[in-house]
Amino acid sequence: MGLGLTTALVAGGLFSHKLKKSVSVMADAIQGLAGGELNFKIDTRGNDEFGSLMKTLKSMQIKIGFDVNDSRKMAEEAGRLQAALDQSTTAFTYSDSRQQLQYMNDAARKLWEEMTNEIAKTHPEFKVDGMIGHNLANYLPEDIRPTFSEVSKIPKVIELSMYGKKIQVAVISAFNAQGEYLGRMTQWEDKTAEHIGQQEVFRLVNSAAAGNLKERVDINKLPVGFVKQIGEGINQILDALITPLNVAAKYVADISQGHIPAKITDHYNGDFNTIKDNLNQCIDAVNALIADANMLSQAAVDGTLTTRADASKHNGDFRKIVEGVNNTLDSVIGPLNVAATYVDRISKGDIPERISDHYNGDFNALKNNLNTCIDAVNSLVNDANLLAQAAKDGRITVRADVDKHNGDFRKIIEGVNNTLDMIVEPIIAVTEAVETITTAANEISSGNSDLSARTEQQASSL
């Protein structure tokens, strides 16, 4: 019994020592895990209950290690994200699930500082440094607050006009795996410069549509930056575009008023040079047209009515104009040449036949007048022939009918008739006297015969 007790005591002491050692190891392991120490070695070789506990602690160590690594990675990523946001020129803020501001980067701080004076008019105690922990919606226009505060799984963009600025707000809500709302990241983009630039561009477009090409972007209204650079670029483009157009407009106006300018010698690029070349060709074409018009005019003054312009030197409607002038001259000079020929023949006593060709307008009147002249001259000639033949036949009392003639032709016939009267009257008087003398002589002769017969009769009666 004494040996058994001794054995039991020895075994109990050994077990107690082992138990204390295992508990101590386990306590160290638990304390290490609690202190975040994950690199110590946990002995899991035991097959008893303590071995199972140590294996469980080892599993906890491994899991905690993974969790710590994941957390460290997330923290590193969050740190990198925050560093990127801090350096970003775009304004970002982060609000938690209670809509309370927790973070704003330097760009966001600068944006809100720019609006401080305007915000202070409605929020006198406002300070940018005091925004953390407050709801950003409180500083937004009242009609926008519900839309801004609404939690949505779909990103939303809101256009704001506040505190003298045009701001585009993009809100992205964050949710965990269980769909619980965690907060929101908000991007604040100042569109004021773009808005002012757009207004200037719209004003410029409306002015251009109204024909006012002198308007330019008012650079003084634009803030320093790329919008101002764009405005300056637009003005340069307009100058480069409108200057040649103004030159073209002036040249076209001068040409339309009959002032033909000198050819353009300035150099232009691209399509503007094409416009210049086309204007110079127009000037050449108009000058050629003027030169031919002057040439035809001088030819008419000089009496060279057969001169014509060379239509092949002209193109398009200018050629049609020259051809039209040539045809007009042909139409005018053709009847004039006929008239000149007829007048020449009539002046030489060669009376032509009546003109039977058809002419239009005043040319037909000219033809009718020439035919009337021919008829008048022929009538004069016929009456002259009539009087000559009558005189030849001894019909000295025949006279022409003056009523068949007009003007000086009538005077000619009247003169001829009067001349014949003056010539014929003495002849008639002489004829009548001769007839009287003849009658008297016959009567004397008859009386003498009668006297002789009576004398003889008396003598025979004696």
Does residue 25 fall inside a structural domain?
yes
Q: Which domain holds residue 234?
A: 199-256
Q: What is the pLDDT of residue 111?
A: 94
The chain-wide mean pLDDT, for the chain, equals 81
C-beta of residue 89 within 8 angstroms of C-beta of residue 64 = no
- Region of poorest pLDDT, from 57-61, 234-238, 254-258, 376-380: 57-61
The yes-or-no verdict on residue 278 having pLDDT over 70 is: yes
The yes-or-no verdict on residue 266 having pLDDT over 60 is: yes
Domain termination site, one of 333, 365, 388:
333
Give the tens place of pLDDT for each residue, 2-48: 444 444 444 444 444 444 555 566 566 566 655 556 565 666 666 66
Does residue 146 fall inside a structural domain?
yes
Q: What kind and span of H or E run contains 167? A: strand 165-175
d(CA 326, CA 310): 9
Does residue 175 fall inside a structural domain?
yes
Does residue 262 fall inside a structural domain?
no
Burial of 461 (C-beta count, 10 Å sphere; 0-12/13-18/19+): exposed
DSSP string computed for 385-443: HHHHHHHHTT-TT----GGG--HHHHHHHHHHHHHHHHHHHHHHHHHHHHHHHHHHHHH
Give the tens place of pLDDT for each residue, 127-164: 999 999 999 999 999 999 999 999 999 999 999 999 99
- 179 and 219 together in one domain: no
- 369 and 452 together in one domain: yes
- 457 and 437 together in one domain: yes
Q: Which residue has the tokens 């001068």?
A: 254
The yes-or-no verdict on residue 94 having pLDDT over 70 is: yes
CA dihedral 94, 99, 102, 108 (to 10 degrees): 50
Q: Which residue has the tokens 């975040």?
A: 36
- 242 and 289 together in one domain: no
Query: Is the C-alpha dihedral spanning 233, 235, 237, 243 positive or negative?
Result: negative
How far from the centroid of its chain's Cα atoms is residue 39's Cα?
A: 80
The yes-or-no verdict on residue 454 having pLDDT over 80 is: no
Does residue 339 fall inside a structural domain?
no
Does residue 236 fall inside a structural domain?
yes
- 276 and 369 together in one domain: no
In eight-state DSSP terms, residue 354 is P
pTM of the full predicted structure?
0.47
Name the domain count of the chain. 5
Instruction: Output phi, psi for 40, to 5 deg.
Output: -75, 155
d(CA 439, CA 436): 5
- 279 and 383 together in one domain: no
Domain termination site, one of 190, 219, 244:
190
- 250 and 323 together in one domain: no
User: Across residues 310-333, what is the average pLDDT?
Assistant: 89
Does residue 341 fall inside a structural domain?
no
d(CA 99, CA 96): 5
SS (H, E, C) 96-160: ECCCEEEEECHHHHHHHHHCHHHHCCCCCCCCHHHCCCCEHHHHCCCCCHHHHHCCCCCCEEEEE
- 41 and 108 together in one domain: no
Does residue 346 fall inside a structural domain?
no
Domain termination site, one of 190, 216, 243:
190
- Cα of first residue to Cα of last residue in the chain, in angstroms, is 271
Band the pLDDT of 444: cuts 50, 70, 90.
confident
